[in-house]
Amino acid sequence: MRPTFIARLVNGPLFDPILYVRMLNERRALLFDCGRFRGLADRELLAVETICISHAHMNHFMGFDEVLRTVLHREDPLLLIGPEGIAEKCLSKLRAYTWNLSGTYDLEIRILEVGREYLRTVSTRADTGFGLFSEDVSPRIGNRVAETPRYYVEAAVMDHGGIPCLGYALKETFHVNIRKGALEGKGYLPGPWIGELKESILTGRLEENIPVTTNSGIAGMRAGDLKEEIVILSPGQAVAFVTDIAFTEDNLESLEAVAKGADTLFIEAFYLGELERDACEKGHLTAVQAGMIARRLHAGQAFPMHVSPRYHHRIDDIYGEMGIAKSGHPVHEFSDSARKLVT
Ligand SMILES: [Zn+2]
Ligand SMILES: [Zn+2]
C-alpha cells in the first residue's frame, strides 16, 4: 500500500520539532508545530491548509509569522488548531503588524481553540486587518477536532509543566487501493481519472460519472460500479505527533485515546533517562519514557524529536534508550506488536 501521508521532520530529531505531512498526489499539507525552521520551500508552505500547534512556547509557535508571510495572498482559508488561549495569542500576533494596504488580500484564518471541555472557533480575515469576523463556542465531544473527506485530526489535551499542551493524531478516513492487475484485466489505462474516482468514493458520490481512459478511448463509468470492479478499501494510515508532556498517567491515558495503534509516532525525547527528575519538573519526556510510550501505543514506527541541545552529540544514546533503530523500527520486544491501525 502506498502511504497517503508523507511525513517529514523538517528540522530532523534535533532543534525545534516541526512535522510536515503532505498528501500523496495532492497539493495539500499539514504542519505540526511551527518553531524556527529551515528547509521548507514556499511551494510547500503554500500547500499547508492546517497548522496544529501543541502549545505556544516560542520554539513551537514563532514560525507562524513566516508561514503567514508566504500564504497571505492565498484564497483558501488556513486552519490553525491549538490549546486554550491560542486564539488570543494568534490574534495578537496578527495585530502586531500594520495592515492598511491589505484590502485586496483574500486570506481567511480560522482558529480552533481546543479546551478540555470546549471548542472555540474564531475566524479572521486579512482584508479587515484581521479584525474579528466570527466566533463560536461549543462543548467538546470526542477527540475529533477537524475533518476533510480524506482525513481527520484528533487532539488530546495534556499537561506540560502546568499549561495545556495538545498531542495530535492525523488519521486517514480509509485507504482506497486499486486491485493489483485490475486495470490491465479490464483494459483501463492509468490516468488522472483514478484520482477522481478515489475522491468520489471518499466523498460518497458514487453516482458520479468518471471519464475512464481505456484502450479504445475515454469511457464514462459510474463511480459505484468502478468501486465494485477495481477497488479494495483498507484501514487508513495514522500519524501521531507528541511533544512537551509530563510522563503522567493522566497524560498517557489522554494520549492513548487518540494515538493508540498509530503507524508512525513522532515523539519528543528531550533528555536521557539520567535527567528524569528535570524532565518531570519541566513537563518533558526522557528517551526511556518516549520508548515506553511508543510500546504502550503499539506504534508501528517511532521517531525521536526535540532532543535537548545538551544531548545533540549523543543521539545514538537517545535511540538506544528509546529502544528503536534509526529506521524508526523497534529494536526489540515491540516489533511483534506493531499494529496496522487504530481502533
Ligand atoms: Zn514547551
Ligand atoms: Zn518544547
Residue 168: all three cell numbers together:
495530535
- Spacing, Cα 243 to ligand 2 middle (Å): 7
C-alpha 241/C-alpha 34 separation (Å) is: 13
Q: Give the C-alpha separation, 110 to 126, whole Å.
A: 11
Query: Given a cut of 90, is residue 65 above it in pLDDT?
Result: yes
DSSP code of 83?
E
Ligand nearest to the CA of 165: 1
Q: Which ligand is nearest to the CA of 35?
A: 2
Q: 64: exposed, middle or buried (C-beta count within 10 Å: 0-12, 13-18, 19+)?
A: buried
Distance CA 132, CA 123 (A): 6
How many angstroms does the Cα of residue 284 sit away from the middle of ligand 2? 8
Task: Say yes or no to pLDDT of 29 above 90.
Answer: yes
Kindly report the average pLDDT of the chain as a whole number: 92
Ordered by where they begin, the domains of the chain are 5-173+236-335 (3.60.15.10), 175-234 (no CATH)
Q: What is the pLDDT of residue 176?
A: 87
Amino acid identity of 229?
A: E
CA of 306 to the centre of ligand 2 (A): 7
Measured in angstroms, how far is the CA atom of residue 163 from the centroid of ligand 1? 9
pLDDT at 223 over 90: yes
* Cα–Cα distance measured from residue 334 to residue 271, given in angstroms and rounded to the nearest whole number: 22
Nearest to 143 by CA among 116, 106, 122: 116
Do 176 and 206 touch, CB atoms closer than 8 A? Answer: no
Q: What digits encode the pLDDT tens for the residues 328-338?
A: 888 765 444 34
pLDDT of residue 335: 41
Q: How do beta strands 78-83 and 118-125 pair?
A: unpaired
User: Nearest ligand, CA of residue 159?
Assistant: 1
- Residue 207 Cα to ligand 2 middle (Å): 48
CA 160 – CA 146 distance, rounded (Å)? 23
How many CB atoms are located within 10 Å of the residue 165 CB? 25
Residue 270 reports pLDDT greater than 80: yes
Read off the pLDDT of each residue in 75-80 and give the average, rounded to a whole number. Answer: 95
Alpha helices in the chain (DSSP H): 42-46, 58-61, 64-71, 86-95, 182-186, 193-202, 223-230, 249-259, 276-282, 287-297, 315-322
Task: Tell me how far apart the terminal alpha carbons of the chain are, to the nearest angstrom.
Answer: 19
At which residue does the C-alpha cell 483574500 appear?
106
**What is the DSSP pairing of strand 163-172 with strand 151-160?**
antiparallel
Residues 276-304, mean pLDDT to the nearest whole number: 96
What's the predicted TM-score (pTM) here? 0.89
Three-state SS at 302: strand
The whole-number pLDDT of residue 333 equals 55
Q: What pLDDT digit, counting tens, does each position of 84-121 carry? A: 999 999 999 999 999 888 878 889 999 999 999 999 99
